[in-house]
Amino acid sequence: MHTQVGIDVEQAALLLEQGELVAIPTETVYGLAANALNAQACARIFEVKNRPSFDPLIVHLAASSDCEAALASCARVIPDWALKLARAFWPGPLTLVLPRKPLVPDIVTSGLDTVALRMPAHTLAQRLLERVPFPLAAPSANPFGFVSPTTAQHVLDQLGGRIAYVLDGGSCRVGLESTIVGEQGGRPVVLRLGGLGLEELENALGPLTLATSSGASPGSLESHYAPRTPLYFDDLGYRARGLSPEQVGLLLFRAPLSEVPPDQQEVLSMSGDLNEAARNLFAALRRLDALAASRGLRAIFTQKFPERGLGRAINDRLRRASFRPA
Ligand code: AMP
Ligand code: MG
């Protein structure tokens, strides 16, 4: 299959109506979209991504000022906390997990009684969602377990030839997957840290708990979001591992280290802006990974980012990227 790249919303819509897959830009990362109400089309998402069927998809909704109606299109129950969050942060990088209506196919929710819903804030994605008469199921447009794509080229690099069309919306403005909030024991809990800061959620709802890894989202596996090169999180001690400056890549927050060649270092935000750092994170990981392959770098070493704003989600992704089973 030849994968086309462009900004033709009409063509993307026609393909989706035919049950094809289209990669779409969102403010978080690129998604691999299918008609969320077409089980067969959604099954192809799992096939193309090589995604295990126990990892459910996020359903993307057309923007509307009536958040209650939008939620009610797929959710059977809408708790007060969910309506409050949707009204405060939609369209935006926030996903809500709520009891699902029967029209949402089992394959989308991995058979769970809940469905993950989000209204993305990206002009092209929204034009597409307004154009088609169904919501779009879309996980990140990368092979399962790899780093999420934040440009159309990233999608092409990994899924080119396997999907019909990539809608090119430029670089993703947020650059991290959405924050996911669900309910446990009648109370909202954060199931995954992401593109909306915990502080902002807590400003709206008061103190929140983070789900433990066993209670977290089914897809929140320990090892995830990983480059192929071994990655050490919160650890710049390459010498202690017997490596020289020429053999390592560094992922840093504000400033490079003088002893390592400059082109083997990625500095995510010289000005110390965590939003900018988040926006640059995945592209930087990809560049270091590619450099490791071409130049024989042995490992990537990273700092820990400040535990505030998007720094928490950056640390979460790097921690998962660094996980290696014993
Ligand atoms: P991705 O878009 O690739 O980041 O994947 C979507 C993620 O949303 C999954 O990996 C799950 O962690 C989460 N998710 C989707 N549906 C549900 C659900 N019903 N309950 C809990 N988490 C969900
Ligand atoms: Mg993903």
Atom of ligand 1 nearest to the CA of 100: 19
Q: Is the pLDDT of residue 219 over 90?
A: no
Residue range 114-159, pLDDT digits in tens: 999 999 999 999 999 999 999 999 999 999 989 999 999 999 999 9
Please tell me the number of the ligand nearest to residue 98's CA: 1
The pLDDT value recorded for residue 182 is 97
Q: Is the pLDDT of residue 324 over 80?
A: no
pLDDT category, 218, cuts 50, 70, 90? low
Rounded mean pLDDT, 222-238: 86
Atom of ligand 1 nearest to the CA of 108: 16
| Ligand 1 pocket residue status of 216, Cβ below 6 Å | no
Listed as own residue / partner, the contacts of 234-243 with beta carbons closer than 8 Å and 24 or more positions apart are 234/302, 234/303, 234/304, 234/315, 234/318, 235/301, 235/302, 236/301, 236/302, 236/303, 237/301, 238/299, 238/301, 241/299, 243/298, 243/299
Atom of ligand 1 nearest to the CA of 139: 2
Tell how far the Cα of 45 is from the centroid of ligand 1, in angstroms: 14
Q: Is the pLDDT of residue 69 over 70?
A: yes
pLDDT category, 321, cuts 50, 70, 90? very high
Would you call the peptide bond into 91 cis, given omega within 30 degrees of 0 as the criterion?
yes
Listed as own residue / partner, the contacts of 258-263 with beta carbons closer than 8 Å and 24 or more positions apart are 263/291
Count CB neighbours of 239 within 10 A: 11
The pLDDT value recorded for residue 212 is 75
| Ligand 1 pocket residue status of 13, Cβ below 6 Å | no
Tell how far the Cα of 69 is from the centroid of ligand 1, in angstroms: 22
Rounded mean pLDDT, 190-213: 94
Q: Is the pLDDT of residue 18 over 80?
A: yes
Instruction: Ligand 1 pocket test: pick from 29, 59, 97 the residue with the most ligand atoms within 8 Å of its Cβ.
Output: 97
Residue range 22-38, pLDDT digits in tens: 999 999 999 999 999 99
Share of the chain above pLDDT 70, in %: 95
pLDDT category, 226, cuts 50, 70, 90? confident
Residue range 162-188, pLDDT digits in tens: 999 999 999 999 999 999 999 999 999
Continuous segment of H or E residues that includes residue 69: helix 67-72
Atom of ligand 1 nearest to the CA of 220: 12
Domains of the chain: 4-210 (3.90.870.10), 231-321 (3.40.50.11030)
The pLDDT value recorded for residue 224 is 67
| Ligand 1 pocket residue status of 115, Cβ below 6 Å | yes
User: In whole numbers, what is the pLDDT of the chain averaged over residues?
Assistant: 95
| Ligand 1 pocket residue status of 217, Cβ below 6 Å | yes
Rounded mean pLDDT, 77-99: 98
| Ligand 1 pocket residue status of 191, Cβ below 6 Å | yes
pLDDT category, 78, cuts 50, 70, 90? very high
| Ligand 1 pocket residue status of 121, Cβ below 6 Å | no
The pLDDT value recorded for residue 283 is 97
Tell how far the Cα of 94 is from the centroid of ligand 2, in angstroms: 14
Q: State the pTM of this model.
A: 0.95
The pLDDT value recorded for residue 227 is 86
